[in-house]
């Protein structure tokens, strides 16, 4: 949405193709406390502000699920969508984020939505007074375990190592929360349920002692990272070993004219602030790219009638 705002400010005809509500991971985050100027703002509220700000500068938002982005022989791009509409643009900024990684253990798919969740804000309220578990050791797991104690009576945070990856300030809050119990060096091996198909039990194993045991829980929230949504791009784009797109300092990928910003690209950290910074750079770089195209071929900046900077 920052990229859209800056493209709009650059007087580029700009469309944001978004499959759901605008906001991405912001919508999965209850409270944002680390966006400068906002000491405390709800995730969805910040998302709405971003959207209306981008619209103010002329960006158009369309609800479309993009299935494929491809570069054409003439150097422009085409985006296919589930609705059948094909969008064409001389340049694309990909900000598709990532999808939560699954544990890949028995019971996880069977009980998805029936006790297995990947979104605390969406599902937390279903577990009022319950005992639940959170899996992971990064910022998301620690933050969401803390958030879930608003509803659950007891939250087990199950981590596969004896040290958390999460930032120190989030860890401090976690350790001060009396409703949270840490379970170190432990992996969940199976999720079990009752006759109604709801989660009741977790089979876990201590990776140091190899001791196996059961944990009674009605819910399990999995926050073990993200897989970048890079699959929609046709053909090869350079990426790191985790699949995150590699970009240069202007956010351009190995495909000329294709820019990437936010969680989809390889970088040290994935915060709202870094995504906004990436979006700014990508939009300004896209504008320069279009200007260079125009100078080269001597035609207006956006060549095709009905074309967009997507
Ligand atoms: P993450 O930082 O990659 O952490 C993933 C955690 O899951 C790690 O602790 C990892 O363990 C564990 N894990 C991975 N695979 C596992 C498996 N198969 N079984 C059990 N545990 C497994 O992911 P994240 O927490 O989703 O965060 C993603 C990015 O978003 C990060 O850059 C983070 O800083 C950012 N973020 C920031 C905030 C915030 O600042 N408020 C909130 C949410 C996310 P190991 O530690 O052993 O590798």
> Is there an atom of ligand 1 within 6 Å of 262 CB?
no
What is the C-alpha separation between 2 and 46, in angstroms, rounded? 12
Q: Is 54:6 a contact under the CB 8 Å cutoff? A: no
Query: In angstroms, what is the span from residue 106 Cα to ligand 1's centroid?
Result: 22
The residues that bridge with 18 in the sheet, in sequence order, are 63
The last residue of a domain, from among 222, 239, 271: 222
Domain for residue 310, yes or no?
no
Domain for residue 214, yes or no?
yes
pTM passes above 0.85? no
Contacts of residue 203, Cβ cutoff 8 Å, sequence gap at least 6: 188, 189, 190, 191, 192, 212, 213, 214
Q: Output Rg (C-alpha) for the chain, integer angstroms.
A: 22
Q: No. of H helices and E strands in the chain? A: 6, 19
* DSSP classification of residue 95: -
Q: What is the pLDDT along the chain (310 residues), one digit of tens a residue?
A: 999 999 999 999 999 999 989 998 888 777 788 899 999 999 899 999 999 999 999 999 999 999 999 999 999 999 999 999 999 999 999 999 988 899 999 999 999 889 999 988 778 999 999 999 999 999 999 999 999 999 999 999 999 999 999 999 999 999 999 999 999 999 999 999 999 999 999 999 999 999 999 999 999 999 999 899 999 999 999 999 989 999 999 999 999 999 999 999 999 988 899 999 999 999 999 999 999 988 875 443 333 333 344 4
How many domains does the structure of the chain reveal? 2
The last residue of a domain, from among 207, 222, 237: 222
Q: Is 279:3 a contact under the CB 8 Å cutoff? A: yes
> Is there an atom of ligand 1 within 6 Å of 145 CB?
no
> Is there an atom of ligand 1 within 6 Å of 165 CB?
yes
Give the CATH number for residue 281: 3.50.50.60
39 and 84 housed in the same domain = yes
148 and 253 housed in the same domain = no
Ligand 1 pocket mutation, candidates 34, 224, 273, criterion most atoms within 8 A of CB: 224
What is the C-alpha separation between 131 and 157, in angstroms, rounded? 11
Domain that holds residue 114: 102-222
64 and 113 housed in the same domain = no
What is the C-alpha separation between 116 and 225, in angstroms, rounded? 16
Nearest CA to 120 among 47, 264, 9, 219? 219
120 and 192 housed in the same domain = yes
Domain for residue 55, yes or no?
yes
């Amino acid at each position: 949405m920052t990229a859209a705002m800056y493209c709009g400010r650059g007087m580029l005809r700009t469309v944001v193709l978004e499959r759901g509500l605008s906001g991405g991971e912001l919508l999965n985050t209850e409270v944002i406390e680390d966006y400068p100027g906002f000491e405390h703002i709800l995730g969805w509220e910040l998302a709405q502000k971003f959207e209306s700000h981008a619209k103010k500068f002329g960006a158009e938002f369309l609800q479309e699920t993009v299935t494929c982005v491809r570069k054409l022989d003439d150097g422009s791009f085409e985006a296919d969508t589930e609705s059948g509409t094909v969008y064409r643009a001389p340049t694309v900024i990909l900000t598709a984020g990532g999808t939560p990684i699954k544990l890949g253990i028995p019971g996880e798919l069977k009980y998805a939505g029936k006790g297995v969740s990947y979104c605390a804000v969406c599902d937390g309220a279903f577990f009022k007074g319950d005992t639940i578990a959170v899996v992971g050791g990064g910022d998301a797991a620690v933050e969401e375990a803390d958030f879930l104690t608003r509803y659950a009576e007891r939250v087990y945070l199950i981590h596969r190592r004896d040290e958390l990856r999460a930032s120190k300030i989030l860890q401090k809050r976690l350790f001060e929360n009396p409703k949270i119990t840490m379970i170190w060096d432990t992996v969940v091996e199976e999720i079990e349920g009752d006759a109604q198909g709801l989660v009741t039990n977790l089979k876990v194993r201590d990776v140091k002692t190899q001791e196996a045991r059961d944990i009674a829980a009605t819910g399990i929230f999995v926050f073990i990272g993200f897989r970048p949504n890079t699959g929609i791009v046709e053909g090869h784009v350079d990426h790191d070993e985790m699949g995150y797109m590699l970009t240069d300092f202007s956010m351009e990928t190995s495909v000329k004219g294709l820019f990437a910003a936010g969680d989809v690209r390889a970088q040290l950290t994935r915060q709202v602030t870094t995504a906004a910074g990436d979006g700014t750079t990508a939009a300004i770089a896209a504008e320069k790219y279009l200007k260079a195209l125009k100078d080269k071929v001597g035609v207006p900046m956006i060549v095709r009638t009905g074309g967009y900077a997507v």
